[in-house]
Amino acid sequence: MNINQITPDVFYVGVNDRVTEKFEAQWPLPYGVSYNSYIVKGSDATALIDGVKIDTVLEFFNHIGQIVPDYLVVNHMEPDHSSAIPEILKAFPNLKIIGNAQTQGMLKGFCHFDDPERFICVKDGDEISLGNLTLKFYMTPMVHWPETMMTYIPEQAVLFSGDGFGCFGALNGAVIDRDMDTTVYYPEMYRYYSNIVGKYGKFVMAALNKLSALKLEYICPTHGPVWNQEIPRVVDITRRLASYESEDGVVIVYSSMYGNTAEIADLLASEFAALGQKKIIIHSLTHSAMSDVIADAFRYKTIVMGSSVYSMRLMPAMEQFLNAMVTREIKNKVIAGFGGFTWAQGVAAAKYKEFAETTGLELTDFFAFKQAISAETRERAREFAATVMNAHTKTIADV
Ligand code: FEO
């Protein structure tokens, strides 16, 4: 069994990266990441689909071996896939790049490549024959950059989907989902989507709609496993994330200077549990990676935010979290806020109000408490928990 063979004519030649600590220099990679690349051997010509990150190019060439591709299809120009392109062009002097008009501009900018003799510009729906196999191109802008496109082989129902349906996590031996335990990849798919692609939900939905009529035997993304048996699950997760359709869960996110706001976070969690809520996640922004907090905020319905007031603002980590939500155009959430202050009473209320106005979300409830927690604070927290859980339960019931 050739573990890297996907169909009789499609082969995996990608590489794993367990060296880079943070993707895009900011998102942790506890399980590494793969840069996927594929060889398609037609009867008349051979295509290489997507490149790799330059750091891994020597291993990549080892995987390609003696194969001499005629084409390199560039579905996406982010440098985790495109930084090896200058080396690929040198290694295969007769190879031509296939991309779209936007790819062409980025090839010039990122790779100083500007040779019209070696570039084939394709549009939505164009096809290039490899003999017995066809490459058909679908423009899917903003999944994840403006130039992103996907490539389909109709004869074998194989879709090369770029970042679409991808996830963090290096490949540990097998390449296709049916040959491995995929458990580790699903949390990494939520984290990958919400952190990297999350802002572009409407474009992802447009791509899903465009591709919905295609028969799919294999989805070959640029990161993570090749999907075969688990295509329905992967497509469903992507559709739900892209449409901001949340699961039944409450995420309490807090940043607490001296423990009062943290104590209220625990009290709220106990109240939510007592009211019957089973899925409750508490993230202290002191300990949790922002990457995980963003993923859970995307995945679950209700976000409860607690922060001490700090220098007439919210705590810096809370402001970073709110900015991350605004950047990703978060929608369809129940939100509520709370937190302690020492002398600046109106600060937190104003900040959460501004967040609600910016996102278009409704702030279900808010309360602030002065200095240490009192019996009145606890009573107010219980009322707050009941109000939030009422809104949460009603919204979940409406889905
Ligand atoms: Fe894997 Fe948007 O690059």
Cα separation, 277 vs 300, in Å, equals 12
Q: Ligand 1: distance of its center to the CA of 55 in Å?
A: 15
Q: Counting atoms of ligand 1 from 1, which one is nearest the CA of 162? A: 1
Please check whether residue 381 is in contact with residue 265, taking contact to mean a CB–CB distance below 8 angstroms. Answer: no
CA distances from 132 to 45, 123, 180, 267, 270 (A): 9, 22, 30, 65, 62
Tens-binned pLDDT, residue by residue, of the chain (399 aa):
899 999 999 999 999 999 999 999 999 999 999 999 999 999 999 999 999 999 999 999 999 999 999 999 999 999 999 999 999 999 999 999 999 999 999 999 999 999 999 999 999 999 999 999 999 999 999 999 999 999 999 999 999 999 999 999 999 999 999 999 999 999 999 999 999 999 999 999 999 999 999 999 999 999 999 999 999 999 999 999 999 999 999 999 999 999 999 999 999 999 999 999 999 999 999 999 999 999 999 999 999 999 999 999 999 999 999 999 999 999 999 999 999 999 999 999 999 999 999 999 999 999 999 999 999 999 999 999 999 999 999 998 765
C-alpha angle 90-64-157 in degrees, rounded to nearest 5: 115
Alpha carbon distance 224, 5 (integer Å)? 16
How far does the centroid of ligand 1 lie from the alpha carbon of residue 80, in Å?
6
Phi, psi for 100 (deg, rounded to 5): -110, -175
> Which of 144, 68, 142, 135 shows the shortest CA–CA distance to 99?
135
Sheet with 134-139: strands ordered across: 127-129, 134-139, 149-153, 158-162, 218-221
Between the CA of 150 and the centroid of ligand 1 the distance, in Å, is 13
Q: How many CB atoms lie within 10 A of CB 234?
A: 24
Residue whose CA is closest, atom 3 of ligand 1? 78
Which residues have C-beta atoms less than 6 Å from ligand 1? 76, 78, 80-81, 144, 163, 222-223
Distance, CA 160 to ligand 1 centroid (Å)? 13
- Is the CB of residue 358 less than 8 Å from the CB of residue 326? yes
Per-residue tokens: 320 = 């970073």
Q: Which atom of ligand 1 is nearest to the CA of 144?
A: 2
Atom of ligand 1 nearest to the CA of 148: 2
Q: Tell me the CA–centroid distance for residue 384 and ligand 1, in Å.
A: 41
Which atom belonging to ligand 1 lies closest to the Cα atom of 166?
Answer: 1
Q: Are 14 and 48 in contact (CB under 8 A)?
A: no
Tokens of 34: 């793969």
Q: How far apart are CA 108 and CA 233, in angstroms?
A: 38
- CA–centroid distance, 36 to ligand 1, in Å, is 11
Q: Which atom of ligand 1 is nearest to the CA of 145?
A: 2
CA of 130 to the centre of ligand 1 (A): 26
Tokens 């942790």 locate to 28
- Contact call for residues 263 and 293 (beta carbons, < 8 A): no
Q: Which residues pair with 39 in a beta bridge?
A: 11, 48
* Residue 11 CB burial class (10 angstroms; 0-12, 13-18, ≥19): buried
φ/ψ of 304, rounded to 5, equals: -110, 120
